[in-house]
Amino acid sequence: MSDFLQVLDSRTGEKYDVPVSDNFVLAADLAQIKGPVSGGKKQQKSGPENLQKLRILDVGFQHTACKQSSITLINGEEGDLRFRGHRIQDLFHKHNYQETIFLLIWGHLPTKEEAQHFSDSLAAVASPPKVVLDAVHALPHETDVYSLFLTALSAYVGADKQMITSRHKAESTYHNNMHNTDAALIRAIAYVTTATAVAYCHKYKLPIGEPKSTGTLVENYLRMIGRPDPTGSIARSIDKLWIIYADHEMSNSTAAFLHVASTLTDPLSCVIAMAAAGSGPLHVGALELCYEGLELLGTVDNVPAYLEAVKAKQFRLYGYGHRVYKAKDPRATLIEELMQEHKAAIQANPLLQIAVEIERQANTDPYFVDRNLKMNADFYGCFIYTALDIPKDIIPALLVASRCGGAMAHWREAMQSPIKIWRPIQQYKL
């Protein structure tokens, strides 16, 4: 017999064998356990209709898996991160971002021909349509970049005829239709990257540059924002950073993406949900708070007093700690490699000097060491953008763009699987 839990229900005296597979139990198996809602007294045999299924209360979904997936594996105990079985270190050192997201989406690394076709397909839809430009230009330049970014994404949904019509058809446009799914996810990835460029250019009153048909996502982003990169070093650094951020299993924003995807809507509407989730101060939005905290410190001389205030719970240290990792986040080691490449720029930037000093002191302070509080790689990597002289207010949108390939992998997986709309339950409590 397979592994199982033996459950004795003290309320009813009933015994149950609950199957266990890979240390998971099915909630449906637990629901076979029935008992009186009030508890405390055994249910009379004459009233089985009063028995109710056992339910699980898991606030914040800390102990509950909402789906099965073969895309990304995180072993937080050992500090291991793999995409489709490939170690993140190998992808970082041997491949580029577009090859990495191809792997995430289609399950294998591309051949030379597949990589070229994928790149050409992305570049073919990189130029923003007039309706997207008009929607963003209708907002004041003072509007924050993330709001401009969300506006551009919404306008893109309205500009894509298939995405519009998919919401008005009884038959799903994408579910079990890999032709439509693959074409739509390619468009969505390109749209999101271009939306970041459109938002940036409007914010800083810059003309939008023309993408090249031979350019990669990152190269065309730099070209559209008018950023010269004669040696290609900026594009290479961002490309490597995007590999690190390409997917991270079931993050809050990915869960929001898939929650919306379960309704069978278009992929870009799902991205908008993902981006909205990321805007909160407990997710990607914490990045801005992290930068603001660094600016308030002003100088590295204030770091010791600041950390003491954090330990006294007078301040929150944004950008530290991660729910998943108990060992060192493998992405942090790769980010350290990138930071070494830009060491001179980091040392010349007062803000980054403060960040590096906070990390140095926190890594040797028993308070942080004992609690395994290390700088979150999601924030640590953003210092690379600052070293490349990219304004901090566009970085949250760039994080969404870099995660979009992974999100589309999850979407494609969902479109090939039986669909059940995500509808959690609650416990009503007076």
Task: Identify the burial level of 139 via C-beta atoms within 10 angstroms of its C-beta, where 0-12 means exposed, 13-18 middle and 19 or more buried.
Answer: middle
Q: Running DSSP on this structure, what letter comes out for residue 208?
A: P
User: Is residue 227 a contact partner of residue 388, using CB atoms and an 8 Å limit?
Assistant: no
| Residue 357 to residue 363: CA distance in whole angstroms | 10
Tokens of 72: 């990304």
322 is catalytic: yes
Tokens of 112: 């030379």
Q: Which amino acid is at 245?
A: Y
Which one of 378, 389, 393, 410 is the catalytic residue? 378
What 3-state class would DSSP assign to 21? strand
Q: Which amino acid is at 93?
A: H
CA separation (Å) from 334 to 9, 104, 132, 321?
A: 50, 19, 36, 17
Work out the angle at residue 392's Cα, subtended by the Cα atoms of residues 192 and 317, and round it to the nearest 5 degrees. 115
DSSP secondary structure string for all residues of 284-301: TTHHHHHHHHHHHH-SGG
Strands 80-83, 72-75: parallel, antiparallel or unpaired by DSSP?
A: antiparallel
C-alpha closest to that of 274 among 153, 429, 125, 361: 153
Which one of 29, 144, 322, 365 is the catalytic residue? 322
Within 8 A by CB and 6+ apart from 144, the residues are 393
Active site residues: 322, 378
